[in-house]
Amino acid sequence: MSPAEYAVAREDELAPGQMKRVSAGGRKLLLCRTDDAWYCVDELCSHEDYSLYFGCIKGRAIKCSLHGSYFDLATGAPLNDPADSPIGSYPVRVAAGQVYVAVEG
């Protein structure tokens, strides 16, 4: 099945370093804006299902505030212990001031 696109935010809603909890395709996701790009990942950490919304964006990574694992926002890969499983990362497109996320249906 091909991914469906969901409008999840206006482009001017988030400044670099900010994030927003969104829902798309029945998933709870986190839209993240870095200095030069947008990313969308699963909201929950793969280690103990803690919300990454309480963490922070550092460069192209997001830090889980519970035990300190970082995840690459582009790939979802964990960058350090204790998390050892990736989180989902979903394609983001910005057009005409709107931010879209593509999620498999």
Cβ of residue 28: shortest distance to ligand FES, in angstroms? 15
Contact, 73 vs 29, CB < 8 A?
no
- CB nearer to ligand FES: give 11 or 84: 84
Contact, 79 vs 69, CB < 8 A?
yes
Binding mask 29-48 for ligand FES (x = CB under 6 A): ----------------x-xx
Contact, 101 vs 85, CB < 8 A?
no
The three-class DSSP label of residue 51 is strand
Exactly one of 61, 64, 73, 101 binds ligand FES (CB under 6 A); that residue is 64
The rounded distance, in Å, linking the Cα atoms of 61 and 7 is: 23
* Residue 66 within binding range of ligand FES, rule CB under 6 A: yes
DSSP element (H, E) containing 31: strand 27-33
Cβ of residue 63: shortest distance to ligand FES, in angstroms? 9
* Residue 82 within binding range of ligand FES, rule CB under 6 A: yes
By CB under 6 A, name the binding residues for ligand FES: 45, 47-48, 50, 64, 66-67, 69, 82-83
